[in-house]
Amino acid sequence: MAIEGEGVRDDRIMKIALVSPYDFAHPGGVVTHITNLYQHLVGMGLEVKIIAPTSDVIDVFGNHFIRIGKPRPIPVSESISRVPISLNLGPEIKAVLAREKFDIIHLHEPFAPMLCSAVLRFSDAKNVGTFHAADGKPGYNLGWPIGRMILRRRRRKLDGRIAVSKPAMQYASKYVPGEYTIIPNGTDVRYFNPNVRPIEKFCDDKLNIVFVSRLERRKGVDYLLPAFQEVKSQIPDSRLLIVGHGTRLRKGYEDWVRKQKLEDVVFVGGVSYAELPGYFRTGDVFCVPATGRESQGAVLLEAMATGRPVVATNIDGYATVVTHGEQGLLVPPRDSHALAEALVKLLRDEPLRRRMGEKGLARAQEFSWDVVARRVVEYYRKMLNGHQTSAGGTGDPPTGERTSEMPEKGV
What was the pLDDT predicted at 295?
84
CB burial of 34-57 (b: ≥16 within 10 Å; e: otherwise) equals bbbbbebbeeeebbbbbbbbbeee
- CB-facing half-sphere around the CA of 70: CA atoms within 13 A: 2
Q: pLDDT for 29-52, tens place per residue? A: 899 999 999 999 999 999 999 999
Q: pLDDT for 113-133, tens place per residue? A: 889 999 999 999 999 999 998
CATH of 15-186+368-405, one of 3.40.50.2000, 3.30.70.2200, 3.30.70.120, 3.40.50.150: 3.40.50.2000
Q: pLDDT for 335-369, tens place per residue? A: 999 999 999 999 999 999 999 999 999 999 999 99
pTM: 0.80
What was the pLDDT predicted at 144?
45
% helix / strand / coil in the chain, to the nearest 5?
A: 35, 20, 45
Element spanning 312, H or E: strand 310-313
Asked whether the domain spanning 200-365 has the same topology as the one spanning 15-186+368-405, the reply is yes
For residue 2, pLDDT beyond 60: no
What was the pLDDT predicted at 79?
67
The lowest-confidence range among 22-26, 246-250, 315-319 is: 246-250
Mean pLDDT, the chain, rounded, equals 88
Distance CA(276)–CA(41), nearest Å, equals 23
Q: pLDDT for 4-33, tens place per residue? A: 333 434 456 899 999 999 999 987 889 999
The lowest-confidence range among 165-169, 309-313, 402-406 is: 402-406
What was the pLDDT predicted at 9?
44
Q: Where are the domains of the chain?
A: 15-186+368-405, 200-365
Percent of the chain with pLDDT over 90: 73
CATH architecture assigned to 200-365: 3-Layer(aba) Sandwich (3.40)
Q: pLDDT for 130-186, tens place per residue? A: 999 887 656 565 544 445 667 877 888 999 999 999 999 999 998 899 999 999 999
Other residues' Cβ atoms within 10 Å of the Cβ of residue 30: 21
Distance CA(192)–CA(110), nearest Å, equals 29
For residue 310, pLDDT beyond 90: yes
